[in-house]
Structure 1
Amino acid sequence: MFADVILPLALPKLYTYQIPDGMKVEPGMRVVVQFGKRRKYAAIIKRIHDEPPAAYAVKPVLSKLDEYPVVWPHQLHFWEWIARYYACTEGEVMNVAIPAHLKLSSETIIQLDPAYADETSIAVLASQLTDEAFQIVEALAVRHELSLAEVQQLLGETSYTSAQAVVKSLIDQHICVAYESIRESYRPRLETYILLSPAYAEEQALHQLFDQLEKAPRQLQILMKFYELREKQGWVRKKDLLEQAEASHAQLKALVDKGIFQEIKQTVDRIAFTYDGAIQQLHLTPSQQTCVQQIHDWFKEKRVVLLHGVTSSGKTLIYVSLILEAIAKGEQVLYLLPEIALTAQMIRRLQQYLGNQVGVYHSRLSHNERVEMWNKVREGSLQVIVGSRSALWLPFCRLSLIIVDEEHDMSFKQQDPAPRYHARDAAIYYAHLLHARVILGSATPAVETYQQAMQGKYGYVMLKERYGQIALPDMILADMRTIPRQHRGERHITPLLEDHIRRTLQQHKQVILFQNRRGYAPSQICQVCGWVPHCEQCDVALTYHKSIHQLVCHYCGRKYPPVTQCQACGSHAIIHKSFGTERIEDELHTLFPKASIARMDLDTMRKKDSYHQLIHRFEQGRIDILVGTQMVVKGLDFDSVGLVGILLADSLLNYPDFRVNERAFQLMEQVSGRAGRKGEKGMVVIQAYQLRHPVLAHVMAHDYAAFFQMEIEARAHFQYPPFTRLMKIVLKHAQQEKVVEAAHLLAGELTDKFPGQITGPAAPLVSRIRNEYLQEILIRLPRSAHKLQEQKDTIVDICNQLQQQSSFRHVRMIVDVDPMG
């Protein structure tokens, strides 16, 4: 028998291996195979058959790693569709889909040759080898074997390539031998628990023990604390006992040595989903009850329903109602959110109704935590999963409902690496495979989604009123030109907004300010000649970050010292241009010195629990003013926000992309929805220069339907989605001439095949990133599924043929289906 396997590599085809006699395997299991001369990988079996490959000599499966499949057959089908639709390989899908600790590849292990096993022969080498080589030999004499990564760590600052060179010299001299080893990376967490010895189970023996320990008061105190903890918890962790009894390890060990206590190790979960509060009963308003019934009615004929509810309309409670129904049937639910920041608050809200039946999965979990979540979902022990787009890859066994909240959000689109999938669209296909249902929820649906609903392809349910009959916030436009002339360049908060912030704080309400740029100043500029400091590796202006007093490239991350003198004209007249969240935070401290101010952007949210801690502080009212980037826009629910300020609407409206109006409307409408969610009516102040921009008029009126009508007419005129599908090809190379030549040749080939459908090639707005020059080609494709796949396959073939030419072999070509930017 033979097995077609998926390797975690970007290979265009699957490889076939022979299954040894007696080895029982099935699709979805991991097996160890050799690929290439020496390298070993954990591959996933996709298909078992009896057809040997004709093109190459088949190799055997070396071993199997699992007794049961870690991936279900429907997932393998899903991976195949993702690879085909998004023009990538199944190996690339596997790399993204499964946790890192389930993807194993061999590493090179070195040992001393048996001829150098004694101290005398090793001592002779001291005068023959370099210091680095002898250091490795000495380490091997003690540890017996080392991986290449451990060798690099041993040699300190040495690069990986240098470490390889030293190891190669030892192997060439027959001092060391090397082999490939594949090891399981996942390790379960073990916790030590304390038990009372069975010898003291009887009450008489226990009384004797207490009498015996009267002369050892510290040990008696530990025993008393043990009983106290056991009475509360039913079990006693060693860590808790030592901490609460204020005892030392030696004191506890003495009781173990006497046979009074026993220590046992047990496997425990790394993530504990504990909720100690009372479970609340769900109460829906009449309009919410009507929506739930309408959703059920639509599900009888449609698999996908768009829930279009205004901000703060209580969509989450409708989701909870549907989740409770699924749980009662023993089914699983996937709740997708666009940002990790939202999961903490959403978990807490769901636990109020669902208790400990809710789990979380996203990229900020550790590798071991992800493996544990993977196994819990596969076994069905977790019924509800809340997560970002990566949660879509989990091995659900009884999935019946997928909720895609804030479905319009661009964060659902994977950018790098491949597969560059859109989680919303992928979820719809995945649900189709499993005969599950999908709810797409948003106050500002994507134009494509709303169009599908209006055409009857999706069910459509509208929730028009806010929860608790609270009115939508009042909208006010503030002209940026009202900032006094003497303060322009220094002040970025208009007198109108400043006045409303002051009033809101006096009412003991909270304020959210939105500015979609982080850092202190997006650029510095010479006032004499207009020179702007740029990154040496990217064609982009450097952003000044005051907190670290450095200029930072937001594309490659490289840092530079601040510029004090113009490199073009020598002038010292360098000023900061425009403003980011850090500068606004600074300005707020000056204007409102007594207010508690916090910032929410990529710079302040880098730590694992930063999101949770900041959101928790804001919920508790310990923060008066929160300033942030689009992180503050996405679905967060706070009770006491009275005012929202959008600091520069023009920055959202002036971007060269056909989705710019849609994106601006969504961001402004969503951030305005944070105001006045509970209690009194809220207020939104939008600062701008272009006060008559048509998008602003629709935002001021909260009129999504009118905005959609304006936008859909423009899309139809210029043949943009949803009237066509787009495919973008990005070419990258270190030499500008080479990438331009390749792009023009590729565009010519594509134009011959698809006349009238090709735009470009052209350099993007940022034309060089990390010392690679970029060219882009945009292709408009038909919406017909049959023609679409056929044309995509042709485009990929043309790209591959160009890359096979020796002069373009090193030009990287990235294919992005349904690009979002």
Structure 2
Amino acid sequence: MLEFTEGSHTHRTTLFVEVILPLAISRNYTYRVPLEMNDVIAIGKRVVVQFGKSKLYTAIVAAISEQAPAKYEAKYILEVMDEQPAVTLKQLAFWQWIAEYYMCNTGEVMNAALPSALKLASETKITLNKDHEYDRALLNDKEFLITEALDIQPELTVSDIAKLLGQKTVMPILKTLFEKNVINISEEVSQRYKPRRRTFITLHPLYRDQENLKELFSILEKRAPKQADAVLAFIKLSRHQKNITKNELIEESGAADASIKSLIEKEIFIAEHKNISRLTYDEDEEAISNFVLSEAQQSALNNIKEQFTKKEVVLLHGVTSSGKTQIYIRLMEEMISTGKQVLYLLPEIALTTHIIERLRIYFGGDIGVYHSRFNDNERVEVWQKVLRNEYKVVLGARSAVFLPFSDLGLIIVDEEHETSYKQFDPAPRYSARDAAIYLANMHKAKVLLGSATPSFETYHNAHAQKYGLVELTERYGGVHLPQIEVVSIVEETKRKTMQSHFTGVLMADMQKALDNKEQVILFQNRRGYAPVLICKVCAYTPKCINCDVSLTYHKSSGKLHCHYCGYKEDSPSVCPACGSTHLEYKGFGTEKVEDELSVLMPDVRLARMDLDTTRSRNSLQNILNDLEEKKIDVLVGTQMVAKGLDFADVTVIGIINADSLLKYPDYRANERSYQMLAQVSGRAGRRGKQGKVIIQTYDPLHRVIKQVIANDYSDLYFTEMEERKSFKYPPYYRIINLDVKHKDPDVLNNQAEYLARELRQHFGDRVIGPEFPLINRIRNYYIKSIMLKFERDAISIVKAKVIIRDIITQFQTTKLSKGCIIQPNVDPY
């Protein structure tokens, strides 16, 4: 095999390529290269191949050899898509590591890594057969409907026809029409990425002379006044901007497209067609770096640089609002000055949009942004700019680790404790934080992990001196940490001082802040209006038809929603079980908090930030802008509001119900609760004024709440670590979960038990389960989980994964495995 060597092959021998297909198949497939493509084939290029009977896919060339496959006859590749490789050798090696470590297939990694516009799948095109005459009266209703649609639109895809008929399976109908010679069916691949093109207009050099221009203008005024208007508009625009597009000229002059075209034909104007970026940036904005680090920040920066001489990974443990971002900026500036690239990872798109504006002040057009809110074409553009090393800094959410970096020098993982760095579905179920550390190792780069509340795994590695540790214990500008007050909901209910879900203390502090023209953030870690609708007579609760969960009422849509599969149904006014009209909503989410606060404080300008209000592309940025510009008095939100937001006038934070965090049945519940409460609290009083946090709870004496008040992360860490060690949990043990899924619960029980028995033969009591998880049916699949716990030093995790893979493969060859899905999850958060 000519493994991982770039370049073309000009010799005329028959070549074979091993390709990665965007499919969940366990090994790469080999194709034959037509001789005329020998000189253009290269590792990392995209090729079009046929897989199966008729499907066409874009695959990535992973290896080139002269060795034909022994078990099957290799098909020819159909087309080479790229002039230059779209994927680098380091990326291919990185994909391979992800697949092996997280127990998935390389094709699944490719699917996650490549922007969808770079992945092509076949689209079956349907057209009418114009060469054959037939009687439409002989067609059935559905066949007739398809032909009528093809009269209006000459070409339709299979998915278009499925929508037209309102059914998924349309191939039998199309097959019949094809056999009757009514339609043609062709398999076709189309390139989805199209660069954005604009026509730029310049004046012919001859008319840059004032005399010639005056003479031209007088002629045009008499013979073609509209063209004269266009020339005049060009001169006007050219005083203020260098580049003038055709569209701008038409808009400014009011001339028709034909007038501009005539001027181009007369060679008065010169038209130049250019690809332009979809990624807007004001190039005239001057890059400035006018902040000065505090003494504590400068000390931390020096310490980080010193630690980097000995360690590859350093943890910056800094309290909220200690100015970690400014330290990041100084490190990035130094790295860029050496010609290296920087990757800055953030857990949430909310943070990305918030911080990008700040970073652009310092890095200008050298910074690229990459996350899922970008459309396909924008993502491709960022990909290609990184490939060409045009961006020195890339800021993005977890998928940014897959970009084609050529010379990484530093990776910053901000808020490294966040669970958002872990992908849960679909595969690869990777952790971007851990993957970033491996990626940095490949590039011989450094990694800085930043957090006010580090994950226990990271803090453990720092204490074991595997990572460097730098601590920043004071807020920037000498601002005090917020004052935290815990309010008992039980006591306030007894005293009848509760107003809806708000204690008297919270209402008073909110009013005081609003009177001082300050802002408030309210945190409730549940979206929707009410989590449960219940019948007071028979206790009936509407459940999702696909999942084992109760439906959440959303007042904005007036429907009951499933937050797992997206199912919706109308909210009943009569109980479907007993016919009672006594239905009531239990619990509350962000929508209800917003709704009830609008009644209690009708003059307050309210906004809500959760998954429902931030679905559209710019909605999140609009909310943040409004908060920055003080168009919002009170922001109600889920955990999105806890992550890194920095607003000068937010002085009061209200945590509506801390118990929903503390009582969650998970070994990480206390760690997560502390992180969430501390992070939310950290949004208060960040510039100049000390903020205040009101934590409403039924259990004010809970240990974690006391630790949050004391800002005692160390006490939390050492207390929890003792329990982790006793009960064999990370970081002392590694965990691999196997979720076994089937639509029949009885079959699932047999399948899960069989797998557990096989695993116990090799791993003994390290295998726990199978057990039903907290939610045991999602999207009509019942789930049973098998947990495997491995000591860090006593067993090779690599060998353990090989054994687990072999057991799963052997199980899948048996009849028992029919209809079964097995999903490995390595290091589940």
Structure 1, residues 524-565: CA drift from partner, whole Å, max 9, x if none? 222233332222222111111111111111111111222333
The one-letter code sitting in structure 2 at the alignment partner of 1:54 is A
Alignment of 1:443-522 (within 5 A): 443-484=452-493, 491-522=500-531
The equivalent of 1:9 in structure 2 is 23
Match of 1:438 among 447, 462, 473: 447
SS at the partner of 2:239? Answer: helix
Match of 1:266 among 256, 259, 274: 274
Residue 274 of structure 1 deviates from its aligned partner by 2.4
SS at the partner of 2:410? Answer: strand
Contact 1:482/1:494 (<8 A) preserved: no
Residue 329 of structure 1 deviates from its aligned partner by 1.5
The one-letter code sitting in structure 1 at the alignment partner of 2:447 is V
The equivalent of 1:195 in structure 2 is 202
Residue 474 of structure 1 deviates from its aligned partner by 0.5
The equivalent of 1:36 in structure 2 is 52
Structure 1, residues 372-404: CA drift from partner, whole Å, max 9, x if none? 111000000111111000111000111111110
The equivalent of 2:350 in structure 1 is 341
Residue 258 of structure 1 deviates from its aligned partner by 6.1
Distance in structure 2 (CA, Å) of the matches to 1:490 and 1:749: 57
Alignment of 1:63-102 (within 5 A): 63-102=79-118
1:534 aligns with 2:543: yes
For structure 1, which segment, 75-84 or 36-45, has the greater mean C-alpha deviation from structure 2 after superposition? 36-45
Residue 318 of structure 1 deviates from its aligned partner by 0.6
Residue 277 of structure 1 deviates from its aligned partner by 3.8
Residue 694 of structure 1 deviates from its aligned partner by 0.6
SS at the partner of 1:477? Answer: strand
SS at the partner of 1:752? Answer: helix
1:391 aligns with 2:368: no
Residue 245 of structure 1 deviates from its aligned partner by 3.9
Distance in structure 2 (CA, Å) of the matches to 1:562 and 1:173: 48
The equivalent of 1:694 in structure 2 is 703
Distance in structure 2 (CA, Å) of the matches to 1:582 and 1:157: 37
Alignment of 1:314-713 (within 5 A): 314-484=323-493, 491-713=500-722
What residue ranges of structure 2 are gaps of 5+ in the alignment? 1-14
Distance in structure 2 (CA, Å) of the matches to 1:616 and 1:186: 31
Residue 577 of structure 1 deviates from its aligned partner by 0.8
Contact 2:498/2:504 (<8 A) preserved: no
Distance in structure 2 (CA, Å) of the matches to 1:326 and 1:605: 34
SS at the partner of 1:749? Answer: helix
The one-letter code sitting in structure 1 at the alignment partner of 2:135 is L
The equivalent of 2:238 in structure 1 is 230
Residue 112 of structure 1 deviates from its aligned partner by 5.3
The equivalent of 2:213 in structure 1 is 206
Distance in structure 2 (CA, Å) of the matches to 1:219 and 1:535: 65
SS at the partner of 1:760? Answer: strand
The one-letter code sitting in structure 2 at the alignment partner of 1:800 is T
- TM-score, normalised relative to structure 2: 0.94
Contact 1:35/1:41 (<8 A) preserved: yes
SS at the partner of 2:35? Answer: coil
For structure 1, which segment, 642-651 or 232-241, has the greater mean C-alpha deviation from structure 2 after superposition? 232-241
Structure 1, residues 229-255: CA drift from partner, whole Å, max 9, x if none? 112111212222333445554665565
Alignment of 1:156-167 (within 5 A): 156-162=164-170, 164-167=171-174
The one-letter code sitting in structure 2 at the alignment partner of 1:228 is K
The equivalent of 2:5 in structure 1 is none
Contact 1:4/1:47 (<8 A) preserved: yes
Alignment of 1:281-320 (within 5 A): 281=289, 282-320=291-329
- TM-score, normalised relative to structure 1: 0.95
Distance in structure 2 (CA, Å) of the matches to 1:16 and 1:258: 56
Residue 95 of structure 1 deviates from its aligned partner by 0.7
What residue ranges of structure 1 are gaps of 5+ in the alignment? none
Distance in structure 2 (CA, Å) of the matches to 1:604 and 1:250: 45
CA RMSD of superposed structures (Å) = 2.2
Alignment of 1:757-772 (within 5 A): 757-772=766-781
SS at the partner of 1:344? Answer: helix
Structure 1, residues 751-799: CA drift from partner, whole Å, max 9, x if none? 2221111221111111111222111111112324971011122122222
For residues 541 and 15 of structure 1, do their structure 2 counterparts lie closer, same or farther at Cα, with a shift above 3 Å needed? same
Contact 2:125/2:187 (<8 A) preserved: yes
The one-letter code sitting in structure 2 at the alignment partner of 1:55 is K
Contact 1:483/1:491 (<8 A) preserved: no
Structure 1, residues 612-648: CA drift from partner, whole Å, max 9, x if none? 1110110111111001000000111111111111110
SS at the partner of 1:755? Answer: helix
For residues 127 and 530 of structure 1, do their structure 2 counterparts lie closer, same or farther at Cα, with a shift above 3 Å needed? closer
The one-letter code sitting in structure 2 at the alignment partner of 1:810 is G
SS at the partner of 2:169? Answer: helix
For structure 1, which segment, 133-142 or 478-487, has the greater mean C-alpha deviation from structure 2 after superposition? 133-142
Residue 451 of structure 1 deviates from its aligned partner by 0.2
For residues 238 and 785 of structure 1, do their structure 2 counterparts lie closer, same or farther at Cα, with a shift above 3 Å needed? farther
The equivalent of 1:125 in structure 2 is 135
Alignment of 1:100-139 (within 5 A): 100-111=116-127, 116-117=130-131, 121-122=132-133, 124-130=134-140, 132-134=142-144, 136=146
Structure 1, residues 57-85: CA drift from partner, whole Å, max 9, x if none? 22233331112111111111110010001
What fraction of aligned residue pairs are identical, expressed as a percent?
45
Residue 353 of structure 1 deviates from its aligned partner by 1.4
SS at the partner of 2:70? Answer: coil
The equivalent of 2:192 in structure 1 is 185
Contact 1:803/1:810 (<8 A) preserved: no
The equivalent of 2:11 in structure 1 is none
The one-letter code sitting in structure 2 at the alignment partner of 1:171 is F
The one-letter code sitting in structure 2 at the alignment partner of 1:158 is G
Distance in structure 1 (CA, Å) of the matches to 2:73 and 2:88: 29
For residues 785 and 440 of structure 1, do their structure 2 counterparts lie closer, same or farther at Cα, with a shift above 3 Å needed? farther
Distance in structure 1 (CA, Å) of the matches to 2:127 and 2:519: 63
For residues 222 and 174 of structure 1, do their structure 2 counterparts lie closer, same or farther at Cα, with a shift above 3 Å needed? closer
Structure 1, residues 418-438: CA drift from partner, whole Å, max 9, x if none? 000000000001111111111
For residues 748 and 328 of structure 1, do their structure 2 counterparts lie closer, same or farther at Cα, with a shift above 3 Å needed? same
The one-letter code sitting in structure 2 at the alignment partner of 1:586 is D
For structure 1, which segment, 763-772 or 680-689, has the greater mean C-alpha deviation from structure 2 after superposition? 763-772
The one-letter code sitting in structure 1 at the alignment partner of 2:209 is E
The equivalent of 1:148 in structure 2 is 158
The one-letter code sitting in structure 2 at the alignment partner of 1:129 is L
The one-letter code sitting in structure 2 at the alignment partner of 1:548 is S
Structure 1, residues 485-529: CA drift from partner, whole Å, max 9, x if none? 697997101001100001111111110110000111111222233
Structure 1, residues 285-318: CA drift from partner, whole Å, max 9, x if none? 1211111111111111211100111000000011
For structure 1, which segment, 641-650 or 735-744, has the greater mean C-alpha deviation from structure 2 after superposition? 735-744
Contact 2:16/2:64 (<8 A) preserved: yes
Residue 801 of structure 1 deviates from its aligned partner by 2.2
For residues 139 and 645 of structure 1, do their structure 2 counterparts lie closer, same or farther at Cα, with a shift above 3 Å needed? closer
Residue 611 of structure 1 deviates from its aligned partner by 1.0
The equivalent of 1:61 in structure 2 is 77
Alignment of 1:776-815 (within 5 A): 776-784=785-793, 787-815=796-824
The one-letter code sitting in structure 1 at the alignment partner of 2:140 is T
Alignment of 1:10-29 (within 5 A): 10-22=24-36, 23-24=38-39, 25-29=41-45
